[in-house]
Chain A
Amino acid sequence: MSSKVRLILDGFVKNNPTFVLLLGMCPTLATTTSAVNGLSMGLATLFVLVLSNMAISAIAPVVPDKVHIPVYIVVIATFVTLLQLLMQAYTPAVYETLGLFIPLIVVNCIVLGRAEAFASRNGVIASAADGIGVGLGFTLALTVLGAVREILGSGSIFGWKFIPGDGMLAFVMAPGAFICLGYLMVLFNKYLKKE
């Protein structure tokens, strides 16, 4: 059991998809205009990641080697479509905000990367644990980036406004995304990454 816990914890720091592996940059930059948006995007990716990891680890032994990438992509696309339909039904407002980046989870390199590097050669339970770990690591990174941009850009956090005034608008817009992520990576490199 402890090895499963280890797998989950690894996803947070050692294999953090955003700060260490540099995967899934597009949704990371595009959807983190606020902490809530970052959190929802992270959770959406977590959902697809866990389910596709489990499904792929289950079917991997019978998939011919030559067509494994197309098969994995179809499996992932199926879960993404499922997520799209669920979100349209139950959380239409969130779906509207995240927009294009929900269907684009299909081409998020984190999902296909984990399928290829982990799920295809491990058991279902271990793959689920790996999916949870990496998914939570991604969610954490997105929420932190969203929170920083929300504080600097609009003076609030999770929608709670504690600095009066407009804030620095540039941080909510495109340039702020790149600059904040750059500086967060610097902090991560300096204090958390072990050689």
Chain B
Amino acid sequence: MEYFLIIISAIFVNNIVLAQFLGICPFLGVSNKLSTATGMSGAVCFVITLATLVTYLVNKFLLVPLHIEFLQTIAFILVIAALVQMVEIVLKKTSPSLYSALGIFLPLITTNCAVLGVALNVVTKQFTFGGEAHFLNLGESLVYALATSLGYGLAMVIFAGIREHLSLSDVPKAFKGVPIALVTVGILAMAFMGFSGMVK
């Protein structure tokens, strides 16, 4: 039941883009076409889940025993950068088709604040999913990371779909490009606010 609450909460109620404002740059940057948006969502999904697993373990077995939790930011960004680099190398060797599909999105993920944001959230924030406030354990962290990145994909795909239509419509000159995109995201966020209250 709790896992179910985590999934609903992370995808709909606290959607990472529309409610938590993480990963906005790539969200606006690569949502022009549906195909690139799905590629980016896939890459982000993969890296967020993997990065959360590794940073969770680094935090639990390295930083906490040594009492150097204040180094979380530095340690995590290094782990993420190394991880992205490794994923890139492994994919290139083992699955060239997936590698070329993800293409330029992979290196960009290092500076996607959604990855660092989720990793830091998992180890520093207490969550209440129906029960008492508590830190997530490893299983819950992974489910949370996966669901959050699915929420990212969902927002991205919906927005890319809208944007493809938007590019064909007659928009006033000053609104062209990013301003109209932002207003659209605002309306999308308002729609997602309808989910709030589903999970406390």
- Chain A residues in contact with chain B, CB under 8 A? 22-23, 25-26, 29-30, 70, 73-74, 77-78, 80-81, 84-85, 100, 103-104, 106-109, 112, 170, 173-179, 181-183, 185-186, 189-190
Residues of A close to B28: CB separation below 8 A: 22, 25
Interface contact B73-A103, CB-CB below 8 Å: yes
Pairwise interchain contact B74-A107, C-beta atoms closer than 8 A: no
**A183 / chain B contacts, CB cutoff of 8 Å:** 179, 183
Are A182 and B116 closer than 8 Å at their CB atoms? no
Q: Do A182 and B180 touch (CB < 8 A)?
A: yes
A175-B187, A182-B180 as given contacts; A25 in contact with B120, CB under 8 Å:
no
Q: Which residue of B lies closest to A185 (CB)?
A: B179
- Which positions 167-200 of chain B face chain A at CB distance < 8 Å? 174-175, 178-183, 185-187, 189-190, 192-193
Among A25, A74, A185, contact of B24 (Cβ-Cβ < 8 Å): A25
- Rounded to whole Å, the gap between the CB of B70 and the closest CB of chain A is 6
* CB–CB A100/B121 < 8 A: yes
Which B residues are CB-close (under 8 A) to A77?
Answer: 73-74, 77-78
Q: Which 4 A-B pairs have the closest CB atoms?
A: A178-B186, A182-B182, A179-B186, A30-B21
Q: State in angstroms the CA–CA spacing of A77 and B178 once bound together.
A: 29
Q: Give the residue of B18, B73, B112, B125 whose beta carbon is less than 8 angstroms from that of A81.
A: B73
Contacts of A74 in B (CB 8 A): 74, 78
User: Shortest CB–CB separation between residue B88 and chain A, in angstroms?
Assistant: 14
B45 CB to nearest A CB, Å: 18
Name 13 interchain pairs, CB-CB below 8 A, sorted by A: A22-B25, A25-B21, A30-B21, A174-B19, A175-B189, A175-B190, A179-B182, A182-B175, A182-B179, A182-B181, A183-B183, A185-B182, A186-B174
Report Cα–Cα, A103/B123, bound state, in Å.
13
Closest residue of B by beta carbon distance from A191: B174
Tell me the smallest distance from the CB of B63 to a CB of chain A, in Å.
12
Contact A25 B25 (CB under 8 A): yes
Query: How many residues on chain B are close to A (CB under 8 Å)?
Result: 42
Q: Assuming A106-B116, A107-B116, A179-B182, is B24 touching A73 (CB within 8 A)?
A: no
Which residues of A sit under 8 angstroms from B190, Cβ to Cβ?
170, 175
**In the complex the two chains form, is B111's CB within 8 Å of A107's CB?**
yes
Q: A112-B111, A181-B182, A183-B179 are in contact. List 11 more A-B contacts (CB 8 A).
A: A29-B21, A78-B74, A81-B74, A103-B72, A103-B116, A104-B22, A104-B117, A170-B190, A174-B192, A177-B186, A178-B189
- With a cutoff of 8 Å between Cβ atoms, the chain A residues found around residue B126 in the complex are none
**Does B133 make an interface contact (CB < 8 A)?**
no
Decide if B143 is an interface residue (CB 8 Å cutoff): no
Q: Is the CB of B113 within 8 A of A26?
A: yes
Closest B residue, CB atoms, query A22: B178
